[in-house]
Structure 1
């Protein structure tokens, strides 16, 4: 009979060091056992200091100089933080050690090559276990329900081999200890939280993934000769299934094929991991639905808004409101829905670093974020804009998201207004005009108004009239470009040279066309009212001119 030791409290620094040590994190100085429970993961910002929950695990991105480390430790001690993570090698000068001791803050080192974003994601996964609370701790197979890191360590003990649990896309969900006993490719996989593309390609060419999905038995994989000695240990992998659905896989770095007893243990382990993965998925779905319902109720106003804000922990305070969506027109497909959910999860993680009580959820295809305001209300939109720009910098260009910044919401009525403003900004950004990917309503007020006027025009069925109608009819009949000439002239604010350059014609040619359009359109270009009407019609009615 296998005896499973009683696990430490889930959100403890000792647990983090046990699960991530020797691969991602190294305890450099301090006592992990004395740190107690971790209240949240926060990214340190030297320009705009974040609000720290008690027992925070602070990621000191870019903090290197011993003086800076010592000063930061003093601040973290005053805020009752649990630990500070720095990029290895951590400067452990007497000054730094003394500052850490006085502050009561443990010092951890992040391994070279491990991205900060991946560490934040792993920590969030590890510390968020059990978020879907129950009266008593649930267990599956004697292990805390949904605790994939504990499951990985238990399987590692049974097989005497380092373990990774991966999803269907070969992303690492959890891993056991003793990864330093495996080969360099395993370490690279852990640091990147993803099987390197070159190995995935080789495994795919070998038919490994095909074999995994076709059988419920363990599959033995010989080492991959990549020329650098990176994949030198064999692997044994098994698919994790729930009925006909493949949820993921378990990978063990082993010296050779498994014995009959360990093969049977591996088969039983796959069934246990399936239960835990289903529990994680169910818990995440419940949390997402609950948070989305509460956030949606708060944004819509009405009788349930105040209670929703209270349950989100955001009642009675001014809020920054942001909205995130995929840029450009996108089809309504399952793949797009999955990308939106991934983007929503990334945005929620980003906001949690800005403020521990920030809330984000996917509501009606848009991820809305609410962040408690810290500092003067007049600076709120600027702070929200910085949060938006930082998110876009970190998420990269693959998803091409756009971020709208709403006005500061000081009460429930302000929250409804901020949501409406955010939606208006998102609509303009989705149009994709220019390279702008983040904006406030003040930045794009004209574009938003034009889009709303177009909606009104389309609803009423209006079509061009007056001078614009005459010019359009003349262009169609004579294959000229008088409408384009008028638009270029108005856009250039009457500068003939600039307008002619935009149309690639000589200024004299442009002047002739300008006189001709005034005659045909019966428009007085010296009259400011007629110029305004022409400009407005071109902006609002132009898209309907060819209908």
Structure 2
């Protein structure tokens, strides 16, 4: 079996070095494995992720940067990124030399969101491995790497910076040497999107019509400071995207041929990437299902998902409302994707998948209280647009315990969906009594074991005589026998309420002075809530 390639620091510096970042302190080991991206937060201890790149958002000055380098070393990080200019002499240089953590400077004007997205995109691309199977690897051409490698190879052949874009102008990959382009190209790479005004200008010029109509390259001038040559990336009759090259003038015949060949290879990438994304999503769902079900294969599945290194909690999300509502499924997909994105921003080793109408996520964390805060924050952002609820399982110290955490999350989720609780997120411990009532209700229904008793007799009487004695009893029990408060709850005079209370005791054969009788009545009311 061919070992899957891993992202390395040298690759990141090659792809982003001329546009976004530069080494300012320490020796960059080009073969150092990079595993993820962490954003430093002085108020929250980040998860340990050996090989991560730590983004020092808001860290300025020699001493704070040096402290960040030491903290990153404790997390096993490969590098830190801080905003340029960086005071590299003194504490920063000493910390970099002492810890072996490379300090990178982020170019002014680039946003942290941009650099985080670019880094994660590079890491995700490397995880996909090479195009084709093992049989193709030995004889692969230089262009048979990932899209970023393709962009770099094309830039070398055409002697100009390259971007690969989808049909909406979103940048999928870019080459080095972007600093040789103009301001519009640099803005495009930083935002990972062609600026709106440039898209509008290209449309007015008819560039897109020509691009999608012609098989060969299209020369575009007059929109930016420097001209461009673009070619559509096609698969049969489908337009998948395009390749754009900053040039000094029209291409020669040889370079035109090179760009056409690059477009064919890009088409393979985009098709396989699209297929790979679907396959990857199904694979992760299968692996997560294996982990949550437990059994002999669960530990290995947890390793493949990266969930074996630290404690974690299971979160279970569902959209409430009528199951047959036409937009319920679509809303469920949207909120599931939003949850996955939200959790990925908190911890790079989260895993989520939708299984039988419920979205499960495993969040590495040190306490279930933190998982509850994460769930509450997410639902707060969602607001009332989607009626979603989240159940949270207990902390699992090791992968084998995730099955129990999933069971807890399911039990809590059922309570939240049933309406027994007004909360939108809860741990099982928060709704434990209500969960027991749900399970007892199931047993009664399964065994057709509806007990005869005061509440059953009272409901039957209400049905025959169109009275509200059951409501009277529930109000009285709910206010601990406070007649005035109970009467106000059902909107009657206290004297009327006292009469109804006496009457219901006679009809139901219920001794209201007996604490055991009161408890049994309360339990039966909870097991079978009155019809609205």
1:83 aligns to what?
A: 79
How many Å apart are 1:84 and its aligned residue?
0.6
**Greater shift after overlay, 321-330 or 462-471?**
462-471
1:356-505 matches, cutoff 5 A: 363-364=355-356, 366=358, 368-370=360-362, 380-385=367-372, 388=375, 402-410=389-397, 414-430=401-417, 436-459=423-446, 467-469=454-456, 472=459, 483-495=470-482
Match of 1:84, SS?
A: strand
1:39-438 matches, cutoff 5 A: 39-47=35-43, 49-50=45-46, 52-64=48-60, 66-77=62-73, 81-87=77-83, 90=86, 92=88, 94-110=90-106, 116=112, 119-131=115-127, 137=137, 142-145=142-145, 147-157=146-156, 162-167=161-166, 171-179=170-178, 189-194=188-193, 239-246=232-239, 248-250=240-242, 252=244, 261=253, 266-309=259-302, 319-329=311-321, 335=330, 339=334, 342-343=337-338, 346=341, 349-350=344-345, 352-353=347-348, 363-364=355-356, 366=358, 368-370=360-362, 380-385=367-372, 388=375, 402-410=389-397, 414-430=401-417, 436-438=423-425
How many Å apart are 1:149 and its aligned residue?
1.7
With over 3 angstroms needed to count, the CA separation of the structure-2 counterparts of 1:498 and 1:150, relative to structure 1, is: farther
Any conservation in 1 of the 2:339–2:378 contact (CA below 8 Å)?
Answer: no
Match of 1:129, SS?
A: helix
Structure-2 separation of matches of 1:200 and 1:511? 75
Structure 2's unaligned 5+ residue stretches are: none
With over 3 angstroms needed to count, the CA separation of the structure-2 counterparts of 1:473 and 1:54, relative to structure 1, is: closer
Any conservation in 1 of the 2:314–2:402 contact (CA below 8 Å)?
Answer: no
Any conservation in 1 of the 2:54–2:77 contact (CA below 8 Å)?
Answer: yes
Structure-1 separation of matches of 2:98 and 2:445? 68
How many Å apart are 1:271 and its aligned residue?
2.4
Match of 1:41, SS?
A: strand
Any conservation in 1 of the 2:232–2:243 contact (CA below 8 Å)?
Answer: no
Deviations 1:329-372 (A, max 9, x none): 5769985686477357536734654x6xx655555555545567
Deviations 1:180-235 (A, max 9, x none): 566666555544445677887998999988997787676788989xxxxxx88887
Give TM-score scaled by structure 2 length.
0.74
CA RMSD of aligned residues (A): 5.0
Structure-2 separation of matches of 1:208 and 1:521? 82
With over 3 angstroms needed to count, the CA separation of the structure-2 counterparts of 1:539 and 1:433, relative to structure 1, is: closer
Higher RCO (C-alpha 8 Å, min separation 6): 1
How many Å apart are 1:72 and its aligned residue?
2.3
Any conservation in 2 of the 1:77–1:105 contact (CA below 8 Å)?
Answer: yes
How many Å apart are 1:495 and its aligned residue?
4.5
Structure-2 separation of matches of 1:260 and 1:21? 29
Structure-2 separation of matches of 1:148 and 1:221? 23
Give TM-score scaled by structure 1 length.
0.72
Match of 1:542, SS?
A: coil
Any conservation in 2 of the 1:323–1:366 contact (CA below 8 Å)?
Answer: no
With over 3 angstroms needed to count, the CA separation of the structure-2 counterparts of 1:344 and 1:271, relative to structure 1, is: farther
Match of 2:127, SS?
A: coil
How many Å apart are 1:424 and its aligned residue?
1.9
Structure 1's unaligned 5+ residue stretches are: 1-8, 225-230, 374-378
Any conservation in 2 of the 1:60–1:84 contact (CA below 8 Å)?
Answer: yes
1:528 aligns to what?
A: 515
**Residue 36 of structure 1 pairs with residue 36 of structure 2:** no
Deviations 1:474-517 (A, max 9, x none): 66677665555544444444455555665667766766665665
How many Å apart are 1:70 and its aligned residue?
1.6
The structure number with the bigger radius of gyration is: 2
With over 3 angstroms needed to count, the CA separation of the structure-2 counterparts of 1:517 and 1:342, relative to structure 1, is: same
**Residue 542 of structure 1 pairs with residue 526 of structure 2:** no
Any conservation in 2 of the 1:41–1:58 contact (CA below 8 Å)?
Answer: yes
